[in-house]
Each structure stands twice: as C-alpha cells, then as structure tokens.
Amino acid sequence: MIRSRKMKINILFFAGIREMFGIHEKCIEIKESKTSPEKLLKFLSEKEQGPWVELLNSKDSISVAINQEISNWDDSLKDGDELAFFPPITGG
C-alpha cells in the first residue's frame, strides 16, 4: 500500500470572498488525493464548514486561479501551488 503524501497549498481570497473568510490568505496541508480545486473545496466545506460551504454554493459565479493563472475547477494541484478564489473581475 502506497501512503498518499501530503502537500502544501497556499490559498488566497479576494474581494467579497476575502471578506467572507475574514482573511486574505490561508496555508493548508492536505493529502495528494485532493488534487483539484473542486475536490479541495468539497473536502474543506465538509471538514471545516463555515465560509467554505458558502464558497462551494457560489462556485458557478466565482473564478479560480492556480499559480496566478485562471484555471478550471478540475485542473490538478501540486505541492507548493498558489490557489486563489475570487469573484468576477471589475477593474478599469
């Protein structure tokens, strides 16, 4: 049996999502099996509840970026990645 290793993911929150969490940044350690933003979000909303549930519910209207590039919910995460959740962009 291969024991799944742990990986570190640095999660960033912006705008309304940052306010929802009350923090801008959170570093987590998870098993490598939660290897997509979607899986990770589901895992955290079950485990930690609170704003994670709200985030999961509004998933369709929020964007996710891995290492500062817009990504899909089922893209892979790897150790050391920077993961960001944010609402629609309204600059300019």
Partner 1 sequence: MTICIQKKLFNLEKIISDLRENKPNVGAIVSFIGYVRDFNKDINTKKLKHMNLEHYPGMTEKTLINIELNAKSKWSLEDVFIIHRVGKLLPSDPIVAVVVASQHRKNAFEACEFIIDFLKTDAPFWKKEISDQDELWVENKLEDHQKKASWNIR
Question: Least CB distance from residue 67 to partner 1, whole Å?
Answer: 9
Q: Is residue 80 close enough to count as binding partner 1 by CB under 8 A?
A: no
Chain Cα centroid distance, residue 24:
12
Q: Is residue 22 close enough to count as binding partner 1 by CB under 8 A?
A: no
Please select the residue that binds partner 1; options are 31, 33, 70, 78, rule is CB under 8 A: 70
Contacts 24+ apart (CB under 8 A), 20-26: 20/51, 20/54, 20/55, 21/51
Residue 16 structure tokens: 């309304």
Question: Least CB distance from residue 80 to partner 1, whole Å?
Answer: 15
